[in-house]
Amino acid sequence: MIRALFQKLPVLVIAGLALGGLALGAVGSALLGNEPFIRVPEVHLAPQEVFTVGGFVVTNTLLSAWLTTVVVLLVFGLGSRKAELVPGRLQGAIEILFEALYGFIKGVVGEPYARRFFPILATIFIFVSFNAWIALLPFYPTVGFKEEGAGYVTTHLLRSAGTDINMPLALAIISFVFVETWGFKAHRLGYLGEFFRGGRAIVMGVVRGRPGSVFGGVIDGFVGLLELMSHFIRLLSFTFRLFGNMIAGEIILVMITFLLIFMSPIAFYLLEILVGGVQGLIFMGLTLVFAFMAVSPHEADHKEANSP
């Protein structure tokens, strides 16, 4: 009987914590008429200032980005410092990650382009994912500073950089610059023909008196303008996709902890681990697709449209 009790002990502990969390959380407190064990959370969309150096404001999200960078450098530096033919655990994990990323990229664009794109795409994935995962550590929501007279943390020392719109915007700009640079390297000035179309068809149509050619050239020029706009709209879509998912995840974790406290938030933490990896993969994947579109041949697409 004692052995059976010990076998059921983990289940009993988990059930006890879940019931305790329900009773102490906002849901149970409302039902029992008690004060919630945790105060009502405050959500800050804007990053909070931690300190200033010579007029340069260091925010908690910037500190988080620096911490992520340091952790990534340490992990991958230690894992590759003494590379061996028979890898250890850390080296093996890094090799598995790199092989998976490289295989994914090569499967989309092929070997030559994969070698060219891999460094920046892998960096984007690793930074976005590690930044999201590190932000799940318990000292993120608990370590900080208190205002005078406040009994709780009012300024957090660290906060996920993904919840600061500046970081997704910076990554979107980096992605945009690399995609356009690869496009110009592949096509040189001919890359601009993707955006400025129809001019030759309009001129030849006017000279030869072909209204249909003029109309087709105008339509083609309008399509090129839309294509140009779509490249800049990517900055907004990349930024708000990552920012929206990261800030939504943070709000969900805060609110579920306030409502239930114990055990139940664990499921959402596990979900956020998955979301962090998925967001890194999406950001990397979209950059990969746009880069491949930029370096792909375009001349054949417009030869017929630009012909008189």
Closest CA to 134 of 277, 278, 282, 285: 277
Locate the domains of the chain by residue range: 19-306
Phi, psi dihedral angles at 155 (to 5 degrees): -130, 115
Token pair belonging to 122: 């892998």
Per the CB < 8 A criterion, the answer to whether 283 and 175 are in contact is: yes
Instruction: Give the burial class of 58: count Cβ atoms within 10 A of its Cβ; 0-12 exposed, 13-18 middle, 19 or more buried.
Output: middle
Per the CB < 8 A criterion, the answer to whether 253 and 241 are in contact is: no
Give pLDDT tens digits for 175-218: 999 999 999 998 888 888 888 877 766 666 666 777 777 677 77
Closest CA to 158 of 76, 243, 68: 68
How many other CB atoms are there within 10 angstroms of residue 213's CB atom?
Answer: 22
Q: Range with the lowest mean pLDDT among 56-60, 82-86, 99-103, 130-134?
A: 82-86
Q: Is the pLDDT of residue 99 over 70?
A: yes
Instruction: Identify the pLDDT of residue 45.
Output: 79
* 102-107 LR contacts (CB < 8 Å, sep 24+): 104/285, 105/288
Per the CB < 8 A criterion, the answer to whether 101 and 125 are in contact is: yes
Instruction: Identify the pLDDT of residue 15.
Output: 67
Model confidence at 303, in pLDDT bands (50, 70, 90)? very low
How far is 257 from 103, CA to CA, in rounded Å?
39
Torsion of CA 233, 239, 242, 243, to 10 degrees: -130
Percent of the chain with pLDDT over 70: 78
Percent of the chain with pLDDT over 90: 38
How far is 79 from 193, CA to CA, in rounded Å?
45
Q: Is the pLDDT of residue 297 over 90?
A: no
pTM, whole model, 2 decimals?
0.83
Q: Is the pLDDT of residue 307 over 50?
A: no
How many other CB atoms are there within 10 angstroms of residue 267's CB atom?
Answer: 10
Instruction: Identify the pLDDT of residue 175.
Output: 94
Instruction: Identify the pLDDT of residue 20.
Output: 65
How far is 81 from 288, CA to CA, in rounded Å?
29
Segment 66-86 mean pLDDT: 87
Token pair belonging to 225: 């303008």
Give pLDDT tens digits for 223-270: 888 888 999 999 999 999 999 999 988 888 888 877 777 667 788 888
Q: Range with the lowest mean pLDDT among 67-76, 145-154, 266-275?
A: 145-154
